[in-house]
Structure 1
Amino acid sequence: MDYNHIKAIHIIFVVSWFAGLFYLPRLFVYHTEANTKPELERDIIQEQFKKMEKVLFNAIMVPAMWLTLISGATLVYWSWWDSFAQHGWLHLKLSFVVGLLIYHFLCRKIIFELREGKFRFTSFQLRLYNEVATIFLFAIVFLVILKNTIDWIWGVVGLLVFAVLIMTAVKIAKSLREKRK
């Protein structure tokens, strides 16, 4: 295997990991919203979400995370190790990866809380939480492509503005739906 093979493997597992990071918080939203259902329906739905969350996390996200980290470390070792100190963008990218790991394990914590019937967050808060992985993705991709520690800021700022607009639109649509009822 050469550098390009490892790079391809790294990209594949980054995509797999992010797929889980995007979908799991959405399951949290639905799991939380099931509380508004009648008891029998709620219990059945929440049991299904518990199972889906566990399988997604353990069977997809954890292996994808480890394979992402291992292949990424291999890429750093093979290509940039000698000049690692000269790549400020890479240091910043690795900082975002640490943030992504924290986000990953916070998701795990939420899984355990939901299993125990603890609903700390509203569905709206979980919808906002769901956007955190997107912000990490934007920041990391801009850093990797532009290899610049400044330009990623504009990508993230644009994403934050877009997220605020989307969330505002969601709130307006929700209030209009509620008024019609």
Structure 2
Amino acid sequence: MLYPYLKAAHIIFVVTWFAGLFYMVRLFIYSTESNAKTEPEKSILLKQLLIMQSRLWYIITWPSAVITLILGLWLAFLMNYWSHPWFHIKLLLLAGLYAYHFICGYLHRQMEAGIFKYTSKQYRIWNEVATLFLFAIVFVVVLKSTLNWIWGIVGLIALSAILMLGIKLYKNLRKDA
């Protein structure tokens, strides 16, 4: 009886965690672009964007990541997922996603310190890494042992190419506008 409630809550917090990660990197893009502006616009925008980053990071993204982990482990123990091969792949992908999460936190702290190492284009590419994790994790969980790994890898490579093409197209459209 507990399982459907835990699963529903887990999915809800996965969604809020990803929403936080996606929006956080969008704020990195906006902050980087604001940093290139002249005063006083630069200071005004950066101050507001950094406040937005901090609130998003500490009020939504971090708590969602922690609750997702707790509920996921609870589900794994309840359903004994540890013996399933698909679950080992999911754990590997989750390790990568948490690494992505920690790197986003590092990038946020850099921006708070006034350090802007990357371009908005690099952040746009970085934003798509979370998309790849999302696709991979959902497909592994939904398809489980029926997943054809070769086609899955081909699909992720194709998705990556499409995302990079979209970034390039968007850059060209912005340049023309």
TM over 0.5: yes
What CA deviation, in whole Å up to 9, does each residue of 1:142-181 have, x standing for no partner? 101111361532431231121122022123324434xxxx
Q: CA RMSD in A?
A: 1.4
Cα deviation for residue 138 of structure 1 reads 0.4
Provide the C-alpha distance between the structure 1 equivalents of 2:96 and 2:136, rounded to a whole number of angstroms. Answer: 11
Matching residue of 2:159: 159
Runs of at least 5 residues in structure 2 that lack an aligned partner in the other structure: none
C-alpha contact (below 8 Å) 1:25/1:130 kept by paired residues: yes
Q: Which residue of 1 aligns with 2:94?
A: 97
Show the counterpart of 2:7.
7
- Superposition pairs for residues 66-105 of structure 1, below 5 Å? 66-81=66-81, 84-85=82-83, 87-105=84-102
Superposed displacement of residue 36, structure 1: 2.5
Q: Write the letter of the residue equivalent to 2:140.
A: L
Report if aligned partners of 2:125, 2:164 keep a CA contact under 8 Å in 1: no
| From 112, 116, 133, the counterpart of 1:115 | 112
Normalising by structure 1, we get a TM-score of: 0.91
Which residue number corresponds to residue 137 of structure 1?
134
Calculate the TM-score normalised by the size of structure 2: 0.93
Q: Tell me the equivalent position of 2:35.
A: 35
For these two proteins, the number of residue pairs brought into alignment is 174
- Superposed CA deviations along residues 74-106 of structure 1, whole A, max 9, x for unmatched, are 11101125xx23x22110111111111111111
Which amino acid in structure 2 is aligned with residue 48 of structure 1? Q
CA distance in 2, matches of 1:90, 1:155: 20
Shift of 1:53: 0.5
Instruction: Write the letter of the residue equivalent to 2:132.
Output: I
> What stretches of structure 1 of length at least 5 have no aligned partner?
none
Q: What is residue 26 of structure 1 aligned with on the other side?
A: 26
Alpha-carbon deviation of 1:133?
0.5
Distance across 1 between alignment mates of 2:44 and 2:175: 29
Tell me how far apart the structure 1 counterparts of residues 105 and 176 of structure 2 sit (CA, whole Å): 34
Give the whole-Å Cα distance in 1 for the aligned partners of 2:136 and 2:88: 13
Distance in 1, matches of 2:176 and 2:41, equals 27
Task: Please give the secondary structure, in 1, of the residue aligned with 2:69.
Answer: helix
